[in-house]
Structure 1
Amino acid sequence: MKIKKFFADSLWKPWDGIIIGVLVLFSLLPLVIFSVYQKTNLAERTQAVLRVDGEEIERFDLAEGQDSYTYTYEDPDGDYNLIEISGERIRVKEASCRDQVCVRRGWIEETGDTIVCLPHKMVIEIV
């Protein structure tokens, strides 16, 4: 009896609680969808793409437990970038450019991270 009296005296109606509950569940739906999406993307193979002047030169697989190795990119002018790949991360270890911004960038390992060397028109991006 008290519940009926509460709904009769207030602005709340019996269906208001159900509607609010459904809206709360729908507000949590993006959280569930994006967490499932991230888990499926992490299962895919991660790669780093080396592009020079917009043209893809090389792809490097980034996998946990992989041995460390280096790759040297040298352009026709004799300029070079020494790229180091170690497990799931990559960096420019050494470069012949004056500003050394690409070397100071350090290791990258997250999807979407980039290393840019403007003097050599080189971009490394993790995809």
Structure 2
Amino acid sequence: MKELLDTLKIGDLIIIILLLLISFSPIAIFTWQQAQIDGEKLVAVISLENEVLYEINLSDHEGNETFDIHTHDHETNTVEIVNGQIQIKSATCHDQVCVRTGFISRVGQTIICLPHQLVIEIQNFGEDTPELDQVDIISS
């Protein structure tokens, strides 16, 4: 060990420390981004077969609410909202991955029931977020 320390020069130590700091920078960036989002309006977008069914404001939601979503194949997913968090409480699919996902409440989190083609995604709609009709779609 002493031989290793003797072969390292001050420049080598600076490079090692710099690389260690750079390796932790994604954690700092992610934490900073999440802190910026905390004041935003959180909306749960529920889609079935790529068609938006509901947009639920989670930021102002209090209490407990439960409702069913029926697919075209007469299958059912029970969605539960509790104090700004949303989950699929039960589903008639065989794998139950969507149920085991549990509650989600942060931007970018999703619950996907693949057999039923049901997607629940948390998005943020702040004051500076453009409305859907203001977005220009450029086709090439």
Please report the TM-score for the alignment, with normalisation by the length of structure 2.
Answer: 0.61
Counterpart pick for 2:41 among 45, 50, 68? 45
Q: Give secondary structure in 2 for the equivalent of 1:98.
A: coil
1:71 & 1:126 partners in 2: Cα distance?
A: 18
Are 2:115 and 1:119 aligned?
A: yes
Matched with 2:13 is none
1:92 & 1:38 partners in 2: Cα distance?
A: 24
Do 2:48 and 2:71's aligned partners in 1 also have CA atoms closer than 8 Å? no
Do 2:63 and 2:82's aligned partners in 1 also have CA atoms closer than 8 Å? yes
2:46 & 2:61 partners in 1: Cα distance?
A: 22
Identity among equivalent pairs (%): 36
Are 2:82 and 1:86 aligned?
A: yes
Are 2:52 and 1:56 aligned?
A: yes
Unpaired segments ≥5 residues, structure 1: 1-30
Q: Give secondary structure in 2 for the equivalent of 1:44.
A: coil
RMSD: 2.1
Question: Which is greater in Rg?
Answer: 1
Q: Relative to 1, partners in 2 of residues 1:75 and 1:65: Cα closer, same or farther, differing over 3 Å?
A: closer
Unpaired segments ≥5 residues, structure 2: 1-27, 124-140
Q: How many residues align?
A: 95
Matched with 1:103 is 99
Please report how far the alpha carbon of residue 39 of structure 1 lies from its aligned counterpart in structure 2 after TM superposition: 4.8
Please report how far the alpha carbon of residue 73 of structure 1 lies from its aligned counterpart in structure 2 after TM superposition: 0.4
1:65 & 1:50 partners in 2: Cα distance?
A: 16
Please report how far the alpha carbon of residue 41 of structure 1 lies from its aligned counterpart in structure 2 after TM superposition: 2.9
Q: Relative to 1, partners in 2 of residues 1:97 and 1:44: Cα closer, same or farther, differing over 3 Å?
A: same
Please report how far the alpha carbon of residue 55 of structure 1 lies from its aligned counterpart in structure 2 after TM superposition: 1.2
5 Å-filtered alignment, 1:7-22, equals none
Please report how far the alpha carbon of residue 119 of structure 1 lies from its aligned counterpart in structure 2 after TM superposition: 0.4
